[in-house]
């Protein structure tokens, strides 16, 4: 077996759960392929793209394409997807009510404050029958696009990473799966409404165009979709993280 120190270095930015956990699992297999994988963990959704755009880190695995598109548009970066990896379904959680219909009038609802995930949260709440949006296909919708809000819900837009900590303080919180898992929330059991496997928000790995054809990137993406890694995801996350094929992105061309 080739020693890890003899491999070519591949640095990957990731959020702690599940991306970093999956990447850590993949390290031994990649070492056999001559890849020295360095997983750089971030707890926010900004730095992983900034670091790759600045070429401090070679690639990242943590986001969906609408988020990547927004980053590129806002910063002038040109990061590109190199493959899709899983769907982490967004869910709405509460410690105060057991069903969405139990929410009282004027209930407080916390949602992520970043552009794409706030829209994603509103689409989920529309799916749950709580609100109606002007255009349910608009992936840039904001709270200003709510046309019907029969329960007069009061929205609080907060940084995504803080949402698990405010569940006790609001009536409902819409939380990304990686942060929900970190907080020991089980999306399949605890979410009052949850995205399904057909979500437009499959997560991907991305890199600078200079690296998109790198053999190191290709080896990582091949290993991510290997039977061993897929089995690890299915057994560890028990359906709360759904593996997808490399081309899942064909569903999210917007």
Length of the chain: 254
The reported pLDDT for the residue numbered 138 is: 86
| Rounded Cα distance, 205 and 13, in Å | 9
What is the extent of the structural domain holding 109?
91-194
Last residue of a domain, one of 147, 173, 194: 194
> How far is Cα 164 from Cα 176, in angstroms, rounded to an integer?
9
- Tell how many helices (H) and how many strands (E) occur in the chain: 8, 13
In this structure, the answer to whether residues 227 and 210 fall within a common structural domain is yes
- Rounded to whole angstroms, the Cα distance separating 223 from 39 reads 15
- Verify that 105 and 134 share a domain, yes or no: yes
pLDDT band at 245 (very low <50, low <70, confident <90, very high): confident
Query: Which has the closest alpha carbon to 65: 160, 200, 228?
Result: 200
Would you say residue 55 has pLDDT above 90?
Answer: yes
pLDDT tens sequence across 182-199? 888 989 899 999 987 667
pLDDT of 80 above 90: yes
Mean pLDDT, rounded, of the chain: 91
Q: What is the pLDDT of residues 203-234, one digit of tens each?
A: 999 999 999 999 999 999 999 999 999 999 99
The per-residue pLDDT for range 59-69, each reduced to its tens digit, is 999 999 989 99
Per-residue pLDDT band for 91 (boundaries 50, 70, 90) equals: very high
3-state secondary structure of 144: helix
Domain identity same for 123 and 207:
no
Token pair in block for residue 243: 């593996």
Residues 109 and 184 in one domain: yes
How many domains, in total, are found in the chain? 2
Give yes or no: residues 182 and 102 share one domain.
yes
Which domain-ending residue is among 170, 194, 218?
A: 194
Same domain (yes/no): 9, 72: yes
pLDDT in tens, 117-163: 999 999 999 999 999 999 988 888 999 999 999 999 999 999 999 99
Q: Which two tokens stand for residue 151?
A: 């329960």
Which candidate, 207, 173, 237, places its Cα nearest to that of 72? 207
Residues contacting residue 12 through CB under 8 Å, at least 6 positions apart: 23, 37, 38, 39, 40, 57, 58, 59, 60, 61, 205, 220
List strand residue ranges (DSSP E) for 47-136, in order: 59-64, 80-87, 91-93, 108-112, 132-133
Q: Is the pLDDT reported for residue 242 higher than 60?
A: yes
Percentage above 70 pLDDT, the chain: 93
Other C-beta atoms lying within 10 Å of the C-beta of residue 1: 6
Confidence class for position 89, pLDDT limits 50, 70, 90? confident
| Statement: residue 38 has pLDDT above 70 | yes
The domain spanning residue 217 has which CATH number? 3.40.190.10
Together in a domain, 182 and 204: no
Q: Please, what's the b/e burial string for 183-217 (b: 16 or more CB within 10 A of its CB; e: otherwise)?
A: eebebeebbbbbbeeebbbbbbbbbbeebeebebb
Please tell me whether residues 109 and 182 are part of one structural domain.
Answer: yes
Token pair, residue 181, equals 């898992």
| pTM over 0.85, yes/no | no
């Amino acid at each position: 077996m080739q020693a890890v120190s003899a491999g070519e270095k591949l640095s990957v930015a990731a959020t702690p759960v599940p991306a970093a956990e999956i990447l850590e699992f993949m390290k031994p297999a990649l070492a056999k392929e001559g890849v020295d994988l360095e997983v750089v963990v971030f707890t926010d959704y900004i730095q992983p793209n900034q670091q790759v755009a600045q070429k401090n880190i070679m690639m990242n695995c943590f986001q969906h394409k609408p988020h990547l598109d927004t980053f590129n548009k806002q910063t002038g970066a040109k990061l590109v997807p190199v493959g899709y990896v899983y769907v982490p379904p967004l869910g709405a959680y509460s410690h105060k009510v057991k069903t969405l219909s139990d929410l009282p009038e004027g209930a407080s609802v916390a949602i992520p404050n970043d552009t794409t995930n706030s829209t994603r949260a509103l689409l989920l709440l529309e799916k749950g029958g709580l609100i109606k949006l002007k255009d349910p296909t608009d992936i840039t919708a904001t709270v200003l696009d709510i046309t019907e809000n029969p329960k007069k819900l009061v929205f609080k837009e907060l940084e995504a990473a803080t949402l698990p900590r405010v569940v006790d303080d609001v009536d409902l919180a819409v939380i990304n799966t990686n942060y929900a898992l970190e907080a020991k929330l089980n999306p399949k059991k605890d979410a009052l409404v949850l995205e399904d496997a057909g979500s437009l928000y499959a997560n991907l790995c991305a890199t600078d165009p200079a690296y998109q054809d790198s053999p190191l990137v290709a080896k990582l993406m091949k290993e991510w979709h290997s039977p061993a890694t897929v089995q690890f995801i299915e057994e560890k996350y028990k359906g709360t993280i759904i593996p997808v094929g490399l081309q899942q992105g064909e569903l999210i061309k917007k």
